[in-house]
Each structure stands twice: as C-alpha cells, then as structure tokens.
Structure 1
C-alpha cells in the first residue's frame, strides 16, 4: 500500500497505524448508520453526539436482549421494526412476536389501508 501524508516526522509504520485507526472509525460510523438508524446527528456539540450515540446503543442492546430472551428467529432489525410500530400497543411481547398472532396491517384490518388504531 502507498500512504500519502504531510506529517514528515512519523515513521511509515505510524502512518499506516493511523490510517488503520481512521478506518476503524469509518467502520464504526457505518455500523451506527446501518444498525442504530442514525442518519444525522441532532446536535453539534460533543455532548449531544455522545448522548445520541449512547441512546441508540442502549436501544440496540435492549432489542438484542429481547431477541435473545425470547429466542426469536427474526433479525434484530425486524425485532426493532416490530417494537417501533407497536410502541403504543398493549400486546404482551410474547404475543407480539408469535408468528400466528403477528400479521401485517392488511391482514389485520381486512382492507388495503393500514390500521393505525387497533383497539
């Protein structure tokens, strides 16, 4: 590999290590965007970004715990989607993820329009 730098007091090994570390940061932000659904940061201070990232990580961990405890075969993304559309629903978690009880909105309402208020 060839690395370009304008910092001449670093050894080639140090430059390569810096690029490697920078790439890890890029991979972390890619993971954030894909798994935590962070598209943009709401604040522009370091504290605001930290709060948003930590909140997203906590939410992801809670979803992973639910997925593991209930031994769900669904992906973490699917579990997160189901939970997010069911936030105001009072259905117990076990029933919510039971394949026979969880149907799409079209099947639930009997029409082609989604039913937002299923009481």
Structure 2
C-alpha cells in the first residue's frame, strides 16, 4: 500500500474511518461528539454499516490525528475520475 495507513492497525482500518467520516458528512454532523453520539444511538447497526465494532470519540480523534488526509484525498480524486469517465460514456 502506498501510504501504509493500516500498518500496525488491529481493528479500526482506513476503510472503517472513511465510512464513519462519510457518514458524518452525509448526516450533517457538527463535530466528533455529535457523530459518535449518533453512531452510539444506532449501535446495533454499526457493524453492518462497516464502521467496525466500536467507535469512540477519543479513538476517532486519535486516528484522525495520526492518519494523514492524503490517503483519503487520493481516494476521492480516484472516485471523481471514475465518475467522470462514466458520465462521459453516457453521452
């Protein structure tokens, strides 16, 4: 892997982090406390949503500090590139 974001990680992978943060954006959460409170309210569903087993505010905060945003930036640009190519194929 280019950035080794999951190196030495046992349970909260880059993929879990991406899903949690996307959920926060899409559900219009204001901050990590709001996000984790919402996730806790739906705790029976978090595993099935791909968030992992447990999402705490402190763990999410620590991971957001440790993992550089470049991993997710490159992923976003790749997804945008794929979407643009599919849009052009329609016409």
If the length of structure 2 is used for normalisation, what is the TM-score? 0.30
Give the number of the structure whose residues are more often helix, by fraction: 2
Return the index of the structure with the highest Cα Rg.
Answer: 1
If the length of structure 1 is used for normalisation, what is the TM-score? 0.24
Between the two structures, name the one with larger relative contact order (CA 8 Å, sep ≥ 6): 2
